[in-house]
Amino acid sequence: MAIKVIGSARATCTQRIIAVAKALNVDLEIETLDMANRAHKSPEYIKNYQPFGRIPVLVDGDFQLFESRAICRYLVHKYQNKDTIQLIPEDLQQSSLIEQYISVEMSEWGTCIDKYVYETVFKKMFGLTPDEEKIAELRKAAEQVLDVYNQMLEGKDYLLGDKYTLADICHLPYGQHAYNAGLADVFDAPSRPNVARWWKNISSQPSWQATIAN
> Which of 2, 29, 31, 70 is the binder for another protein (CB under 8 A)?
70
DSSP 91: S
Phi, psi of 59 (to 5 degrees): -125, 115
We find the least distance from the C-beta atom of residue 70 to another protein, in angstroms, to be: 4
Q: Is residue 66 a contact point for another protein (CB under 8 A)?
A: yes
> Which of 9, 35, 85, 95 is the binder for another protein (CB under 8 A)?
95
> Which of 5, 20, 26, 71 is the binder for another protein (CB under 8 A)?
71
> Which of 104, 183, 186, 195 is the binder for another protein (CB under 8 A)?
104
| Residues in contact with 75: Cβ distance below 8 Å, sequence separation at least 6, in sequence order | 3, 17, 20, 21, 24, 26
Q: Applying CB under 8 A, what is the total number of residues that bind another protein?
A: 30
> Which of 68, 120, 176, 207 is the binder for another protein (CB under 8 A)?
68
Cα separation, 45 vs 116, whole angstroms:
29
| Residues in contact with 5: Cβ distance below 8 Å, sequence separation at least 6, in sequence order | 14, 17, 18, 28, 29, 30, 31, 56, 57, 58, 59, 71
Q: Which stretch binds another protein (CB under 8 A): 33-41, 103-111, 179-187, 206-214?
A: 103-111
Buried/exposed code over 67-98 (b: 16+ C-beta within 10 A; e: otherwise): bbbebbbbbbeebbeeeeebbbbeeeebbebb
Q: Which stretch binds another protein (CB under 8 A): 20-28, 33-41, 72-80, 193-201?
A: 72-80
**Contacting residues toward another protein, per CB under 8 A:** 51-52, 63, 65-71, 73-74, 77-78, 92-93, 95-97, 99-100, 102-104, 106-108, 148, 151-152
